[in-house]
Structure formats: C-alpha cells, structure tokens
Structure 1
Amino acid sequence: MFKMFKITQVFKIEVFAKIITSFGISICKRFLTSLSCVYLQDPKLRELLDAGNLGGRLENRMITVVYGPDLVNISYLNLVAFQEDIAKEWSDEVFSLATNLLAQNMSRDAFLEKAGAKSKPYLTVDQMMEFINFKQRDPRLNEILYPPLKQEQVQQLIEKYEPNRQISVDGFMRYLSGEENGVVPPEKLDLNEDMSQPLSHYFINSSHNTYLTAGQLAGNSSVEMYRQVLLSGCRCVELDCWKGRTAEEEPVITHGFTMTTEISFKEVIEAIAECAFKTSPFPILLSFENHVDSPKQQAKMAEYCRLIFGDALLMDPLEKYPLEPGVPLPSPMDLMYKILVKNKKKSHKSADGSAKKKLSEQASNTCSDTSSMFEPSSPGAGLGLIPPPLCRGEHEGVHSTDISSVWPSLPLLVPQQRNRKRRDQNCSIFPSLSQGTAGSEAMATEEMSNLVNYIQPVKFESFEVSKKRNKSFEMSSFVETKGLEQLTKSPVEFVEYNKMQLSRIYPKGTRVDSSNYMPQVFWNAGCQMVALNFQTVDLSMQINMGMYEYNGKSGYRLKPEFMRRPDKHFDPFTESIVDGIVANTLSVKIISGQFLSDKKVGTYVEVDMFGLPVDTRRKALKTKTSQGNAVNPVWEEETIVFKKVVLPSLACLRLAVYEEGGKFIGHRILPVSAIRPGYHYICLRNERNQPLTLPALFVYIEVKDYVPDTYADVIEALSNPIRYVNLMEQRAKQLAALTLEDEEEVKKEVREVSESLQIMLQFLKAPTLLRKTNIASPWELYLLTT
C-alpha cells in the first residue's frame, strides 16, 4: 500500500503523528530513509513522484514506516517529501515520537499550548510554576499550611526531569508520569492517620470463613488462605472450630454440616503466628466460631494459642483500659503486635454440672445433624437436607474468578451461580437461609474464656440496652440482612453504637457461591469489621481492597470525625450537607488510554462513584467504544461532573476499562478526599488490585469545594477580585451619568466592595479565623461584610 502526501512547511508534526497513531506507534518496528527505503516498482508512479527531481533524488525524499504486530506480519507505509531536508526532519521527529511511550495521544504543540508554552517547544520556569500551581494544585488545601510552589522548588523539579533551566516536551511527559504528579499524594499511601484512637474508631479489614478457597458447600479448606489473607493486609480472620473425630482428638476447622474439607486447628494457629505482623504491626483479631463440644479439645485449643502465639497473645486487659463500663477500648497503637481473641465467655453463674450437661446435649444434636447431612448421594438431594441455618450463599453479579489467580498456590476454581430465579426459590424454601450459618456455638470452657478480654461477643438486644450497659468491650455480630434491617430502622442509633462498641457484619447464608455484599453500605454506618469472602474477587472485594490500600496497608482506616465524636450525630441517609464537612464537586474527563491491551479490540471506560446513598452513582459515565485500537485509544467524551459529593471522606471514584465484549481489563479506585486535580496518568490495577505494568488512563480532573448555585457569583468574585472590581467600577461610572452621583462617592463604594472581598479572602485562606470569630461559614461572612 502506497500513500503520497504533499509535504510543506505549513504541515505540523502532529498531523503526521495522528496518521502514524492510527497504525499504532508502539508496534512500529523501524523507519527507513535514504537508500534503504523500499524502491517503487511502478514506473508511472516513480515518474510522477520524481517529476523534475524536486529537491533531490526520490530515494532521499522518501520515508518508509515498517509496522506490524510482530517481526513476521509487517506492512509498509511510504511517504514522499518535496525536499530532502524536510524528509530528514520528519523522519527524526517521528522516530523520537515513536520511541516516547508517553507522548502517543497528544501532539507536542497541543500539550505545550495547554501548559502555556504557546508556540515555543519548551516551558520556562515561570510557565511551569503557573501550570503546577493553577492546574495541578488542589484548591481544597489551605494556602497557609500548603503554600503554592515557589520558583526555586519548580526549578528543582525541572532539573530532575530536564538538565537545563527549561523543560522540553520529553521532560514534561516524564513529569506528568512521575511520582510528584501522582493522582493520589504519596503520603496518603503511607501510614498517615492517627492510630491512637480507641479501636472502635477504625474500619478494620476483615475476612469471613477465611479457610475456604471456593464455595460454602463443597469448597476445599486450606491453611494457606490464612497466610495469604494476612499478607494482603487483613486484620480480622475467622476460625470455625469443630470437634475432631480422630483418635488423637485434635480440633479441626471446617464449615460445619457441609461437604467442605477439614484442616488442622493447630496448623492454622501456626500459619497465623507466622504471618500475623509481616504486613502490618497493628493488632490481629481472631473471630472464633466455636462448635467444639469437648472440654478436652477446647483446652487443647487454648493451649495451642498460648504456646504458639506466646507473648503476642493478649491474655489480660491493659492497666490503662480496665474492663469496666464507660472505659473506651485501647487503640491500635496500644495493641501493636498483639493478637486478640473473640470467643464467647463462660458465664460464671452456671454451675459445672449444668455446663457439662449442655455440652453433652450439643454433642448429641451435632451427631444427629451430621449423620443426616451425608445420607443423599446426589448434590441436589443433599442441598435439601442441609439444616437451614447452615446453608450459605447468594450470588449478586460476581466476576468468575480462578482462586489460583487470587492466591497462586491454590489451584481451585470458585464456582459461580448466575440463576437468580433458582436462588430466590431456595430462599423461599428455606426462609432462615438469610440468617447466616453460625448456629448455636458450644459453651466456652474456662481455658478458652481466659483468652478473651476486649472482644466479648454478646447477643444484640437493642441500641438502648447497649447504651445503658455502656461496655465498650462487648460486641455483636450481624448477618447482612439483620444489619440492613437495623440500618434502615435506626440509622443514627447504629452510628452512635459504633462509636463506642465494635460490630461485625458477615454474609447471609444464601451466598453458597461465596459472593459478597457491598461493604460501603455498612461503612456508612461506622461498622468496623465488615467481613467479606476474600476468595471471591468481585466488585465488593475490589472496593474493599481499594479502601485498605491506603494508610500503609495497615488494615486500619480511621473513621471520619463525626463518626467518632460523641457530640455529633450523623444519618447515613442524609442528602444535605453534613455539619462541619465541606462537600466537594468533582469533574473527570477521560482523554486517552495507554497500552490497554495487546489485542486489536475496542475498549471503553466506565466511571462509578461509591459513598453515601446520595453520593453513589453506578455507571455515571460509559465512554464510546474505541474502534479496534486498544494500544492508544482516544475518547472525545464530555466531562462527567459529580456536582455535590456530600461526604468526600467516605466516597471513592472507580475508573474501570473493559474490552468491547465486556471483558475486564483493569481499574483503579481513588478516595475522593485524596484525589489531586489536573492532568494525570492513572496506572490501572487488576482484579486483585495489583499494578498492571503498562495499562494506564490519561485524564483531566477538577476537584473543588462545593458551592451552592446561590453563591456562585460570590465565588467568582473571590476567585478573580481584580476583574470583579474593574467590572464594578465600569458599571458604577455608567450609572453615575444617569443618577447624577458624585464620582468620588462612586469610587468610595467600589473601594468598600474591594475591601470586603479582601477580608473574605483572608478568612477563606485561614479557616481557623472563622471559628475564632464564631462565624459559621464564608457565606455568613459575606453577608456581614456587605
């Protein structure tokens, strides 16, 4: 295929760049010029192009681009210039463009013009400083605490990416993709939150049925899951303990009354001890679901915990935090490198005889239930005989996930069920399936009770009873359906409860495929231990991993202030501005993609917002599908605007990329409160939140404090007071001729307006002045000063 272009000085480099981009610059193999060009065989075409030997020999005026997906399947693109020097200039420029992997979707002139270089091929220090301080700086930051960059700081930045006093396009691209221009500040990824608050003031990364590698009915159990989950940053793991029936009488961990396999309790404790503090130094919470009806085996369990965990096991409460009403829980900092046990406490009121009698009755019931479980030969018949409280799982649009891709050492596939009708039938047959699978636990022995201190599980009665008892060391667990019920009926009370005590949410029993509920629902209520099935990497689990990626992957995230302070009350269903919280306005423009796939497929981007119900917007934007270009697609889409994000500290933005057939490519979850505005390359993550090597999105983001439409003119005046004052002077002079007012009086009025604006600017730059003067908001200040 041959194409001829009239090449003159009028054409700019980006024209050719767009032509080459359509063929995929990244797969161009080489550029041929001069005598190495492919020689034209057609004599008529050669004669036409060589008319009069314009500007030199034809071979020296040709550019041949060799491109293709590999070294075998290649194609040729030939171009001819009028002059040899033009051909050389183009070949040099195009080659530099092709080898610059970051400059594929935007022409040089366009990028520099956006940055302020106009027609010059570089940015000066002043232009770079203006770009960083006005385009890339977060306007939500206080200018006194976080002043804009000065010329010296910008010069240091330029010297890092370019060894001279001005920055070229290549250096500018390196800056845009560098760590200084990350879409999230690096300090947010490090441990940056206050870890000295009571334990109830944190969201805690929690796992449900940690031992399972697949479904809840017939999946394999694995000790390795505890290692992998802890290494991923989880801080609360679950142990379903059952009586071992071997001659050694060793307790086991399994999912009772199902066909899941058994693993050794001792091996699990050893795995936890091995990996407990590899990722995070903050406390591990062991959630025991204890069905061991043998006092001897419970004693073994306690002994294993004491011997294997050693000093890490917190046996006695800290002196500063006694187990008394009104005393808050210790902080993660106080409990560093400690392991806490959640298990039922033995009631001191019951006599030993009655305790043994109850254990015997439970053993009898357990044996009869187990024998009936394994009677049927077919899985379908077996499902019907599983006791209702012990059947798990409901599917809710999960991605089919190979467990070996989540944890490479476990080659097991998570079974998926997508038949909603069948699921609903199961729910109607067994109404109690939605109540979870815990069943009644065995009575705790003295040995196990001695391990329990700050996490004592009690049956939830009501928020009023819990408030009256005022015992922070008592906690309750809620199956997701009961949690939703409490959240719907008493949202404010649920938040208040979670300020003082811990709560744990776990999936309902109909989720036999190990799918997950949406954790954001319960984070909105301040629930700390929102436990998920870690073996299933669905959207819910992705959001959970995105949440705990920050704060050093410590597994603890500090709750917003109004969810901690006793004098503040919060309704998760609010649609109005929260007292003391500044809402945000967020705008996102998807510009282009980078190396999204090595296949010739179309791609598209979806944008979601998760947070409070009023903030949540599923598929707020879905771009058009790029036409067969997954290497460097460009989207001409409108900017998506989230006008009012009521609670930025609990909201997250999700950008996800898919192939045209719906296959997931990568995504990124970003906390709204930490997003930086400006132009950014956003590196994508896979389903397991691991960074992908090359795939990235290039976006432009604007984020600012939300301003009601009523005050839009005021903000416009504050953002550009000189323009506003000049406009006021012009209008005042025009009116003076009609009202016959003295010109000095007009100027005086304008000066007063200007002074009011200056006062407002000072207060807005230092919000602490507002609190000192008892002024509720800048709008009240505006009314006072005007």
Structure 2
Amino acid sequence: TDLINPEDFTELVFKQFLSHLCPRPEVNDIFELLDVMLKPYLTRQQMSTFINKTQRDARLNYFLFKPLQPEQIQNLIVKYEPAKINSHKGHISPEGLMWYLSGPENNLLFPDRLTVYQDMTQPLPHYFINSSHNTYLTAGQFSGISSPEMYRQVLLAGCRCLELDCWKGRPPDEEPIITHGFTMTTEILFKDVIEAIAESAFKTSQYPVILSFENHVDSPQELMGKILIKNKKNRVTNQNSQVGQRRKSIVQDQTESIQTGENVEEQCEVEEESENVDQEEEEEQELKKNESDEGTAGQEVRAYEEMSSLVNYIQPVKFESFEAAKEKNKSYIISSFTETKALDLLVKFPIDFVEYNKRQMSRIYPKGTRVDSSNYMPHVFWNTGCQMVALNFQTADLPMQLNNSFFEFNGRSGYILKHELLRRLEKTFDPFTADRIDVVVSNTVSILIISGQFLSDRNSRFYVEVELFGLHHDPKRKYRTKLNTEQNSINPQWKDEETFVFEKILVPELTSIRIAIYDDSGRFIGHKILPVTALQTGYRHIGLRNETNQQLTMPSLFVHIEVKDYVPDTWADLTKALADPIEFVCTLNKQSAQVTSAEDDQSVPEEKTQMLESGDGAMDTSEPCSK
C-alpha cells in the first residue's frame, strides 16, 4: 500500500529511512581524520575538540564567543545521538554526528546576518539600495508585456527602488498609463500600478520605497496620494514642502534637468538656473551621441511643473564633472548613468568616482541595446559605492542572482550599509588596487567539495564550479571539480578532490563566492551565492537555490570551509607565536634540541680524525662500528 499511518512514521523512523536511502560514508572519513576509527564513536572530549576547533571560526573573539562547555556538548549529544545507550555515556556515533552536522547549530552562514544587524541611521548615500529598471516589463524592452503584478513581485522580493514611465492615456478619458515610450510594449493603467505598490510596498521591508518616476501627464497630483515625487523639469524652482504621512514613497525621475530637493531632516534650497540655447544644443548633440546606450530615455519629454512641485528628499541633476559635484557637495543630489557611461568613468577616474559616491548618490541602469532585458554585473559598481544599481528583475541571469543574494541579508530590508572605505571621507580607496588596504583585514578562504545529496531525479555525473566575485585584483576567480566517478544523483562523492583556495581576498565585505553544480551535459542543477563575511568555518551543508533564488527542497552539497585572516608568508611564524605563545616556545625548544643533537653527532668523527692524525688511539679505529 502507498498509505502510511502518520503515527507510525515518526521522526526516528524517517531518519532511519533517510540514512538507508542516502548513506553518508564521508562522515566516517571525518572519524578517520580525528583518528578515532578504532572506536565507532566520539567521546564527549573528542566531540568538544571537534566543535571548538574544527567547527569554530578563527575570526571569532574568544571572550565574546566562548567555546562550548562540557554540559553544552552533552546536551548536543543527547539531542542528536539516536542510540540512548551511547548518549548516556557521552558518546556520539557517525550517524549522530551526521544529524548534528545537519542541524541548526551548523548553519552555513552566521544567523544574525539574516536579521537587520547594520546601523540604519546613516545618511541615504551610505547604503546600497535594491533597485529595478523598467519594473513594469515582464520580458523584452521593445515588445514585452507590461504588468502591475511585476511591482508586487519585486517589492515582495525586497526591491526598494521602482521605475514608472507615466503617459497620457488614449481618448476620450485619457487616463494615465504606464508603458515604455516609443516602443511596442503593452500599456497598463497608472492607478493599477499605484494600487499594487500600496498593497505590497511594506510587506517585506518597512524601509523607504523610492519610485523612479518619468512624468508625461498634465495633472497627476490627485492620483499620487501619499507618494512623494522627485523628478526633473526645464527650470529650477525653490520649493519647500513638508510631509505629514507616516509611510512615504520617494519618487525619482530620470529626465535630464534639475529640480528642488528636500533632505530627510531639513529642507534645502536650490539656486535657480535658466536653460539657454547653447545648453539645449549641447544636450541635443549629446543625446544623439548616446542614443544607442540610453535607448528611448533620451526621446522622452520633460516633466510638467505641477508634478515637479511635489518633489521631496532627492534632487536629480545632470552629471557635469566630479569637480562640479564636489563643489556642490549635497547629499540629497542624485545623477543617473548608463552602464557604459559609468564604466567609462570608473576606468578613467576610479578614485574620483568613489569619492563622488561618498557625498551624493548615483543610479546605474542598463544600456539601451539590451533589448532582451539582460543585465550587467552589479558588483563592478557596488565596488565603487554606487547606491542604486538598477537591474531587469524579469531576467534570472547571473547578475540578477548576485543581486538577489546580496540583498538577502540585513533582514531583506533592501538596504545594505556600505563599507567604511566607501563612506569615510578621510579614507582613499581605489577599486583597482592590488595592495594592502588600510582598515581592512584581508581573508583567505578554502573550500573542499566533499559530496552531494539528492541532486537530481535521474542518475548522472556531476561537477561543481566555485567562483569568486570581488575586486579586480582578488585571487584566482574560478575553480572546477572533476566529474564524480559514478552515475549517482543520491549521494555522489568527490574523492581526492583538491581544496580550492582563494588566498588574498582584499575586501571581504565586497566579495561573494558562488558555488554551482551541473550534470555531465552542462545542465544547471542549483547554486548558492555566499558573502565571505557571513561564511562559517567547518563542515557545512549548502542548501541549493534555483535561478530565481528560490530554495530547492532536497538538493544540497556537503563541503569543508575555512575562513581566516590572510597572513603573508613572511609573517606566518610571528602570527603563530602570537596565537599560541606556549606552543610556539615548545616548538622552538624542540628545534633547538634537535640542532644541538645533530652538532654533537658531527663532533664525534672529527675527534676520531684528530686522534688518528696524532697517532693516539690507532688501535681503536674499529670501535665506532662495534657500538
């Protein structure tokens, strides 16, 4: 029969069934490494050594994170050892150790990183903000379908910066619509989008929603409700406005002029400027030059003054130069760049771009030639401190996977505090540096792929790729295992596989490691992207995700990870001495004794030679051979 009485299928029965279905011989290998195979169990003391040394992260402070005490070790043995006779004696079997390694005490990542653990009171330019491009599109940029549902989905995924292109609808009602102008994308009602945003804006995160708003309607004020707008228009006006709503959305426009802004704590005034003919001609020429990169953005009309009067918090300006931005020095200012323009600035002026992002905000968006809604690699611009790196959320490619993983932390708030190198004005940072960086401790990460569990519904051979995404001069970026020897999707093993070492990761806070698994035909099975600073040392299970960052039910990898501070070879002895002075002195004493013994052994034949040359002891030449 296919039916099982739930009362009969207890947790113990399930574990026994799983152990027979998916044997774990690699756990026995751990026993061999601990030199305890003569006895089929670990004692309480051996278990303590395993937890407090093998599984303990070397970066943890000893006084803040105390090693587990014997009573805590005993509680873990009782919890995971299936044989009560073993647990009462303080022993744990290979099966019990396997269940312990699968338990919550052995999370792959530090659990606190999944909550809001960062300082959320810094100025807005000090954060990376989860941002989307042309949020309403479900497919391509020129003939895709638009849908209000996309706003719900990206908000529920933790996105905090959305884009709206608002146009006057068709007669007779001319109700405002959202669409990608001058393309064949479909139209959706503006009110449906606003309802979707209002419904989902604060489900995943309570932190501010920023709307990147392109306004092409006459009088949308009555439609905006509680949304605060930041957009640009032809002339700059001095506006002061106050907001009475408890929850607010900030709206950003991408047109190419200047509008007033308001800081979070104080209102700001912006000087008036008039647009002259020369400026208009210059902008027109630049528009034609960059048309291929900007797509339809350059063809869209400027915002109406009535909409512009609602602007708060953020003031968009056209980028002129790093020098001009430094003179203005306004934290509420933002400029938008296509990825090609931003990359050009990054290559030519890397330090200036970093300094620029310390004082104000930048938004990067895909070039217009990405008609298939593909994405650029976001970490290139995160390394420069760009706050809003906008991606096409409808495309589950590698850049989008990196983005999903990056913003999964800090409580999925959609805001990640930038490293102090990208915030502190007194620090200078070059993202292309290969040298040691002040106030940063570089890391070394070692990863050994051991086995897999329930990887596929069909037998196959598999290989694993381990790739690093960080600064330009970080160590070797990609490793790959061999195919496992047998066709086995239940518990494939990688025997005699080398450990993958990333020796000198310059800024761990800006680095992630992607572990992906494929079958022998190259078919993607699953992956996981791991921030270096959140990784825990030891034997760990990696639950795999699909392309859209959804957790897979069964597939996992079993690995050994070691994360430690990077120490150059010339300083290795000093580091060992500081870490354990007693052991270091004992080692020196042993080495000194060995040298002394070797010198004594060499002095014996020298004395014999002198005696022979002088004629003394000539009859004793055979004495050493008899000893």
Residue deviations 1:53-96 (CA, integer Å, cap 9, x gap): xxxxxxxxxxxxxxxxx9xxxxxxxxxxxxxxxxxxxxxxxx99
User: What is the match of residue 540 of structure 2?
Assistant: 680
Residues 518 and 335 (structure 1), Cα distance of their counterparts in 2 relative to 1, 3 Å cut: farther
Equivalent residues of 1:604, 1:659 under 8 A apart: yes
Tell me, in whole angstroms, the C-alpha distance in 1 between the residues paired with 2:577 and 2:228.
Answer: 59
Structure 1 residues 718-727 or 96-105, which shifts more?
Answer: 96-105
User: What is the match of residue 61 of structure 1?
Assistant: none
Aligned pairs for 1:734-745 within 5 A: none
Amino acid in structure 2 at the alignment position of 1:593? G
Shift of 1:289: 2.1
Equivalent residues of 2:151, 2:162 under 8 A apart: yes
Local SS of the residue matching 1:729? helix
Shift of 1:345: 5.5
User: What is the match of residue 190 of structure 1?
Assistant: 115
Amino acid in structure 1 at the alignment position of 2:516? A
Equivalent residues of 2:443, 2:565 under 8 A apart: yes
Pair 1:110 & 2:20 matched: no
Local SS of the residue matching 2:25? coil
Residues 505 and 276 (structure 1), Cα distance of their counterparts in 2 relative to 1, 3 Å cut: same
Tell me, in whole angstroms, the C-alpha distance in 1 between the residues paired with 2:597 and 2:482.
Answer: 54
User: What is the match of residue 147 of structure 2?
Assistant: 222
Equivalent residues of 1:206, 1:235 under 8 A apart: yes
Aligned pairs for 1:740-759 within 5 A: none
Tell me, in whole angstroms, the C-alpha distance in 2 between the residues paired with 1:431 and 1:500.
Answer: 26
User: What is the match of residue 146 of structure 1?
Assistant: 65
- State the identity %: 56
Equivalent residues of 1:476, 1:502 under 8 A apart: yes
Equivalent residues of 2:113, 2:409 under 8 A apart: yes
Shift of 1:99: 3.7
Residue deviations 1:567-614 (CA, integer Å, cap 9, x gap): 111100011111011101111110011010011222111110001111
Aligned pairs for 1:403-552 within 5 A: 432-552=291-411
Amino acid in structure 2 at the alignment position of 1:126? Q
Residues 715 and 118 (structure 1), Cα distance of their counterparts in 2 relative to 1, 3 Å cut: farther
Equivalent residues of 1:282, 1:338 under 8 A apart: no
User: What is the match of residue 251 of structure 2?
Assistant: 341
Local SS of the residue matching 2:137? coil
Residues 260 and 482 (structure 1), Cα distance of their counterparts in 2 relative to 1, 3 Å cut: same
Residue deviations 1:167-204 (CA, integer Å, cap 9, x gap): 23332111101111011011111111111111111111
Shift of 1:617: 4.4
Pair 1:565 & 2:424 matched: yes
User: What is the match of residue 589 of structure 2?
Assistant: 729
| TM-score, scaled to structure 1 | 0.66
User: What is the match of residue 276 of structure 1?
Assistant: 201
Residues 171 and 337 (structure 1), Cα distance of their counterparts in 2 relative to 1, 3 Å cut: farther
Equivalent residues of 1:282, 1:336 under 8 A apart: no
Residue deviations 1:240-287 (CA, integer Å, cap 9, x gap): 122223211212111111111111111111111110000000000000
User: What is the match of residue 283 of structure 2?
Assistant: none
Residue deviations 1:346-378 (CA, integer Å, cap 9, x gap): 589589xx99xxxxx9xxxxxxxxxxxxxxxxx
Shift of 1:454: 1.7
Aligned pairs for 1:196-215 within 5 A: 196-215=121-140
Equivalent residues of 1:283, 1:335 under 8 A apart: no
Pair 1:638 & 2:498 matched: yes
Residues 157 and 494 (structure 1), Cα distance of their counterparts in 2 relative to 1, 3 Å cut: same
Aligned residues between the structures: 553
Residues 590 and 103 (structure 1), Cα distance of their counterparts in 2 relative to 1, 3 Å cut: same
What stretches of structure 1 of length at least 5 have no aligned partner?
A: 1-28, 30-69, 71-94, 317-322, 325-333, 356-360, 362-387, 391-429, 741-786
Shift of 1:441: 4.3
Amino acid in structure 2 at the alignment position of 1:703? V
The structure 2 residue matched to 1:176, chosen from 71, 84, 101, is: 101
Residues 562 and 227 (structure 1), Cα distance of their counterparts in 2 relative to 1, 3 Å cut: same
CA-atom RMSD, angstroms? Answer: 3.2
Residues 168 and 336 (structure 1), Cα distance of their counterparts in 2 relative to 1, 3 Å cut: farther
Residues 202 and 101 (structure 1), Cα distance of their counterparts in 2 relative to 1, 3 Å cut: farther
Residues 736 and 618 (structure 1), Cα distance of their counterparts in 2 relative to 1, 3 Å cut: closer
The structure 2 residue matched to 1:167, chosen from 65, 87, 92, is: 92
Amino acid in structure 2 at the alignment position of 1:143? Y
What stretches of structure 2 of length at least 5 have no aligned partner?
A: 3-13, 231-236, 239-243, 261-270, 281-285, 601-627
Residues 732 and 314 (structure 1), Cα distance of their counterparts in 2 relative to 1, 3 Å cut: same
The structure 1 residue matched to 2:522, chosen from 650, 662, 669, is: 662
Shift of 1:734: 6.4
User: What is the match of residue 135 of structure 1?
Assistant: 54
Tell me, in whole angstroms, the C-alpha distance in 2 between the residues paired with 1:258 and 1:315.
Answer: 25
Tell me, in whole angstroms, the C-alpha distance in 1 between the residues paired with 2:378 and 2:155.
Answer: 19
Amino acid in structure 2 at the alignment position of 1:526? G
Shift of 1:655: 0.4
